[in-house]
Structure 1
């Protein structure tokens, strides 16, 4: 017999505070609620990878996400304990976190995660039961005891035949006995037995598949896979039938002195005499998709997978629901982001790495304006599928163009659909085999107001929506003769209005509207040094033109830069090459060698923000020679290292990162250049003794000269702005911190005519 036991390892518990990530903000979805807990006059609701507290008496909501040191992984169980005044969170990967809301503290317990004798797919925390000073964790391998007072793991119980690992769905305790509901039957053990870790101390008293279990009115109730409710006879361990339900039982719990059973769209409530109250089955006409529910006095709180947390008052007739989930996007699985002045659009696509949109999805889009989210559901978008990208009209910020990778191009104004363009009413083309399969991957607006968009697997893969609202085909047949076999998606343009489009296996296609010329950037062309792959060309996954008119190309196997993109339209030799950097040890290295690039965007200082499929985000300098920042799950609130999209709001310097597990933003303080110096700011001001960051001067014009002097005129810093801001580390030319005093910020525009003067006080 082999007995397993968890032993606390002090270094396996990681302490963190909830304020470790200044400048970051989470924008998570609280629509899909999977778990609820209650205590101390508040409701704790778990979303996919974040949670929130709702206090009914105050109508106050507070959220907790990766910005507060949550792991970002999927939450599978949650418990708020009144006795110890903290929230205990269990995750699908076995991680346990304790969050002390009042103290802004998070404790991580990675003992189960690091357990090598348990398969990674069997570490899920399914249920948490609080009993006296312990929490009993039901997992996919057995039961784990956790001391809530000492905050350390106790015994582990492997209760299957021969001490094998079996999935435990839930546990309950009555009269000193612990009952375990498993897919292999109902097990019972005596908590007073000092040898309970021995599997022989456990008895299987029923062989059926038990889904849920709870103690109610000093009796054990349970449900099986046939959706029948039973009460356990403790004398002979027999099961007495109570009721059968027509729908699958998703949860059972005791709340407000009632026994609640939750199905997809109903909540059944039993009192102490097993009298059944009228079930909740229709709320505001909503098609409910419930995970669980709790009750409080005459109020039910429903955890719904599509509508978030709902508050429903007990009353006759059809109840009315109050929506309690915090403001946020529809989903956490972000596909594409588009930022414009004071707004952000989020689409949920998606197509895979081979540009295949199947299986198709219909998910709607989300729109952030200021701090308020609007979610446009599929029915408001003509049920368009696979919406992969958004472009905000530069001349009308209330108008947006949505690309559907199956259903054409949608035009919205003030969040209302006004037109859908497809093969039936425009020059948009379907794929060869299906005329109504209109694969619009993305769009871009050129300086003259025309909208260019990719129309994949069609005879003319680049289309133009002109300012008169007419779709026209762009002829690039002279350079691209594989249009029906090579998908196309992302598209961008330069300051001259030239257009560049990414393809699956044929490189980058280019079009020059001014001279109606087409061009191609691919491996077989002299001067193009694309990464070596099995196909002739790597998959082109990202495109961006920077402020120096260089074309940055992201591929499935690395990064390339084209230093003279307009040469593709002439007979000049192309120059597409990797960025080579020299490490501190003197070794030359290709920047982002063999990394799968997913996104490239350019900020106001011409820095590049580069997203990858599994290595997080890299911010590199204008020429790519210096890595300024790298953000991953380990050193930032990113909920995943799989970055799907990046967008920058140039007026504020906010950088948005979309991932497969959620959306976060970072205040880079790098803004776009202003037209004049009327809005120059200096912050923080004053600089206080405990401040260790940099001073930002923003509201600058492109190329403005910024001089910082002491009050007597001695120069301590000088810099030319690239974009709309500069940052000063409060040193005299990088050598030593300047002394306390008043300093002058003298700004001269690049025309040497416009000027501005600001003061800043530094207190050491």
Structure 2
């Protein structure tokens, strides 16, 4: 008896509507790494690393969709636009699918492939979409899956490798009622597209051997590309050689009766007779761009190229030497390492080191500067080929001057985005790192970060040297801060971040020696380490945990992030007083009556205090936490599951104190949350109340900002009855429109009576509430 070999995967239909977070969140994603392009309705739909955008060549307008609008935030591998069904379908490296509807922008998330346990995580990549009738054939690294576009649900999946095994399918094509699949599995597979038993691997036949990069039905010719980049026509199941391309063929497409063949450095356009009528490569050599093309399409005889570094390029013709970059404005990259906010501007750097401050392998990523209106991206070449830039510090007395720390090349000084000085051992007192024998390593000068103290002096870390804390003088000379009394083995200690308190003391974070403090006014030093009385640091690494974050709150307490948890130094200045004892301990809170340690054994990557004294804490794999000033109450936790964070690995936090915008830099992109918590201002001249009026159906909070620290805010009805009173911590408060947190107040006009802490300055505003 013959046993029918049916290897059918039943994908349980699972999709969900994703939430649009655009009311409180903003995405700042990079659109320079284009992974795939689709064409439809006279628009170009481009997929960047983890966001998409539509470009209208006629109006030259762009429309972006990112994690804030519902995209998942993972790495995109393929995109297809269906004119028939007015939707875009997005495929991801991890097997996730998302559908974006044209009519309302609604995003559907389909997790069937992502969650399938019988398919290895590394074999779920979506390689290609082929629309055929009312469905798409999805080429994946495990086989082919059907997805019905009419009712948005999966059909069958085909495991077409030998004996029904999984096989990497690179592309599919339908030709003469036959479904063909190019594979990286030794052959081209084909079967009747209308065969009801496509799930039976025995109905699939093979052509040729070797591996195949792609296959396409072009002008009634079935064409395929072999792994050696040779183009063949398949005729009666025979392979007829046509030509060979000069590089790895990454994509086969067709538009407007033209075949488009993409390699990393060339785009070839062929007519129906397979004669080359367009070639793009020489013009990029003229402008010295190191191209890495991923995709190309044609719309109205205009060639669009998606590059992995330069974004979406619009050519003036198939052989044009002129091009225009049409990607949306954004930062260079999504892999953020550190953020710096000053006024309405933001600096983003991408250099990095690992958990023990090792910068290798060295990266060359440049920096990004957001002015509030547009992005300015400075490349590796713009910055005198400075590698591993890990920090930016804005000169508060001259905001056009910025100090960039390099964890391999020293200190870079910019003015108006131009390099004016690069400091390294050849022209300053900066010192190369030392090897275990104490000998310097040429070309390895590690400045991890810089900070201004209350006197306007710039301090910096100079890792793995005899004197790892240094100061820059007004005439750009480097002066050593002597830590020898406290730091016993400096050349065995990596250091990176530095911070300063409001008294001018400077603190240096190290890999295994805790925190080293320096008091410039006296020259005294001290430390927060496990061998110091009163200090309770996590007991995971010896002799001390890696110090990964430091932040002073509004009460001059030092919040300390380590690779294994959170600590608070309640009196850090005690390290400079031999008669005082430090108090460094975890935050303990009760959960169901059981004592718990806040962020126990979490890797803390960054900490920021907002204007109200709340603390924002970034973690390596659990998202972001916002706690109150004591740490006893968690106000928010943002993760991929409940927010637009593109990743739970949040590397850096920065807060715009004037607007309350909180920026989160992750390894997959930059987003921000409008917290409405602002810094206190000097006077009450610019008090704002919003929304105002409060309209029917509104369920949020009313924000009153432009307040001075500790200003008293009373809200009364017009007859003088008090319904709310609060003292401002920072520059704003929020009111839930309830009378002392109980019932909602009725429609009417309410008075906002504000008195400054000095009891002299006052301000009055009004709120109209309409129920």
Aligned residues of 1:501 and 1:509 also touching (Cα < 8 A) = yes
In structure 2, what is the Cα distance between the partners aligned to 1:513 and 1:704? 34
Equivalent pair of 1:392/1:401 in contact (CA under 8 Å): yes
Does residue 443 (structure 1) correspond to residue 444 (structure 2)? The answer is no
Is 1:537 aligned to 2:544, yes or no? yes
Q: Is the 8 A contact 1:265 1:282 kept in 2?
A: no
SS in structure 2 of the partner of residue 552 of structure 1: strand
Equivalent pair of 1:5/1:154 in contact (CA under 8 Å) = no
Matches within 5 A, 1:58-207: 58-184=59-185, 185-207=187-209
Q: Secondary structure at the match of 1:328?
A: coil
Map of 1:258 onto structure 2: 258
State the alpha-carbon separation in 2 of the partners of residues 436 and 262 from structure 1: 39
Deviation at residue 70 of structure 1 after TM alignment: 0.4
Q: Deviations over 1:399-430 (max 9, x none)?
A: 11100000001111111111111111111111
Partner in structure 2 of residue 759 of structure 1: 766
Q: Secondary structure at the match of 1:63?
A: strand
Q: Distance in 2 between matches of 1:58 and 1:240?
A: 44
Of the three residues 320, 331, 334, the one matched with 2:333 is: 331
* 2:590 matched residue in structure 1: 582
Cα offset, 1:5, TM superposition? 2.8
Cα deviation, residue 469, structure 1: 2.7
Say whether the 8 Å CA contact 1:449–1:467 is kept in structure 2. Answer: no
Q: State whether residues 429 and 435 of structure 1, in contact with CA within 8 Å, keep that contact through their aligned partners in structure 2.
A: no
Q: Which of these residues, 388, 392, 408, is aligned with residue 406 of structure 1?
A: 408
The normalised TM-score by structure 2 is 0.97
Tell me the CA shift for residue 344 of structure 1.
Answer: 0.4
Matched residue SS, 1:484:
helix
Instruction: State the match for 1:13 in structure 2.
Output: 15
SS at match of 1:506: coil
Given the alignment of the two structures, is residue 637 of structure 1 paired with residue 638 of structure 2, yes or no? no
The alpha-carbon deviation at position 371 of structure 1 amounts to 2.6
1:386 to 385, 388, 396: 388
- For 2:41 and 2:22, locate their aligned partners in 1 and report how far apart those are by CA, in whole Å: 28
Whether 2:313 is the aligned partner of 1:305: answer no
Q: Residue 295 of structure 1: CA displacement?
A: 1.2
Q: Match of 2:437?
A: none
Match of 2:514 in 1: 507
Distance in 2, Cα, partners of 1:192 & 1:619:
56
Distance 1:633 1:215 in 2: 40
Cα displacement (A) at 1:255: 1.4
Number of equivalences: 758
Aligned ranges 1:547-566 → 2 under 5 Å: 547-566=554-573
Task: Look up the SS of the partner of 1:750 in the other structure.
Answer: coil
Deviations 1:346-398 (A, max 9, x none): 00011011110000011100000113110001111111000001011111111
Q: How does 1:205-604 map to 2 (within 5 A)?
A: 205-233=207-235, 235=236, 237-283=237-283, 285=287, 286-314=289-317, 319-432=321-434, 433-571=440-578, 572-583=580-591, 585-604=592-611
How many angstroms apart in 1 are the aligned matches of 2:678 and 2:233?
65
Q: Report if the CA contact (8 A) 1:608-1:620 is conserved.
A: yes
1:21 deviation in Å? 4.7
8 Å CA contact 2:302, 2:318 repeated in 1:
no
Shift of 1:263: 1.2
DSSP-derived class of the 1:388 partner: strand
CA–CA separation in structure 2 for the residues paired with 1:582 and 1:150: 49
Instruction: Tell me the equivalent position of 1:670.
Output: 677
Distance, in Å, in 1 between the alignment partners of 2:217 and 2:497 is 56
The Cα offsets for residues 638-693 of structure 1, whole Å up to 9 and x where unpaired, read as 00000110000111100000000000001000011101111111111011111111
8 Å Cα contact 1:283-1:321 kept in structure 2: no
Q: Tell whether the 8 Å contact from 1:169 to 1:181 is kept in structure 2 after alignment.
A: yes
**Structure 2 CA distance for aligned equivalents of residues 534 and 421 of structure 1:** 34
Structure 2 distance, partners of 1:388, 1:505, is 20
- TM-score, normalised to structure 1's length? 0.98
Distance of 1:22 and 1:396 partners within structure 2: 34
Give the secondary-structure state (helix, strand or coil) at the position aligned to 1:220: strand
Residue in structure 2 matched with residue 696 of structure 1 by the alignment: 703
Rounded to whole Å, the distance in 1 between the matches of 2:105 and 2:52 is 14
Distance (Å, rounded) in 2 between the aligned partners of 1:283 and 1:745: 64
Deviation at 1:288, TM superposition (A): 2.2
Deviation, 1:7, is 3.4
- 1:712 is displaced (CA, Å) by 1.1
RMSD: 1.2
Structure 1 residue 183: Cα displacement: 1.2
Alignment partner, residue 53 of structure 1 = 54
- Decide which of 725, 738, 743 is 1:736's aligned counterpart: 743
Q: Once the 2 structures are TM-superposed, how far is the Cα of residue 266 of structure 1 from its aligned partner?
A: 1.2
Mapped to 2, the partners of 1:446 and 1:723 lie a distance apart of 22
Give, in whole Å, the separation in 2 of the partners of 1:101 and 1:522: 58
Q: Distance in 2 between matches of 1:253 and 1:162?
A: 31
Question: Is the 2:341–2:655 Cα contact (8 Å) retained in structure 1?
Answer: yes
* Equivalent-residue separation in structure 2 for 1:436 and 1:206 (angstroms): 53
CA contact (8 A) 1:6 1:153 kept: no
Task: Return the offset for 1:82.
Answer: 0.2
What's the offset of the Cα at 1:8? 5.1
Distance 2:449 2:60 in 1: 41
Give the distance between the partners of 1:577 and 1:244, measured in 2 at CA: 67
* Deviations 1:78-107 (CA, angstroms, capped at 9, x unpaired): 000000000000111111111013312111
Please give the per-residue CA displacement for 1:232-279, whole angstroms capped at 9, x wherever unaligned: 11x2x1111111122221111111211111111211111111221141
Gap regions ≥5 residues in structure 2: 435-439
Q: How far apart, in 2, do the equivalents of 1:217 and 1:510 lie?
A: 73
SS for the counterpart of 2:470 is strand
Q: C-alpha displacement at 1:158, in angstroms?
A: 0.4
**In the TM superposition, what whole-angstrom CA distance separates every residue of 1:266-308 from its partner, at most 9, and x where no partner exists?**
1111111122114111346233211010112331000011110
Cα distance 1:3–1:20, how it changes in 2: closer, same or farther (>3 A)? Answer: farther
For 1:283 and 1:632, how far apart are their aligned partners in 2?
Answer: 44
Contact 2:280 2:318 in 1 (8 A): no
Residues 603 and 2 (structure 1), Cα distance of their counterparts in 2 relative to 1, 3 Å cut: farther
TM superposition shift of 1:312: 0.3
How far residue 116 of structure 1 moved from its aligned partner, in angstroms, is 1.0
Once the 2 structures are TM-superposed, how far is the Cα of residue 517 of structure 1 from its aligned partner?
Answer: 0.9
Secondary structure class of the residue paired with 2:740: coil
Could you say what secondary structure the match of 1:589 adopts? Answer: strand
Residues 156-206 of structure 1 show CA distances to partners (whole Å, capped at 9, x for unaligned) of 110011100010011111111011111121111111211111000001111
SS of the aligned residue for 2:544 comes to coil
Deviation at 1:615, TM superposition (A): 0.3
Q: 2:419, 2:522 → 1: CA distance?
A: 34
Deviation at 1:22, TM superposition (A): 2.1
| Matched-pair contact (CA < 8 Å) for 2:278–2:318 | no
Distance in 1 of aligned mates of 2:282 and 2:764: 64
Secondary structure class of the residue paired with 1:33:
coil
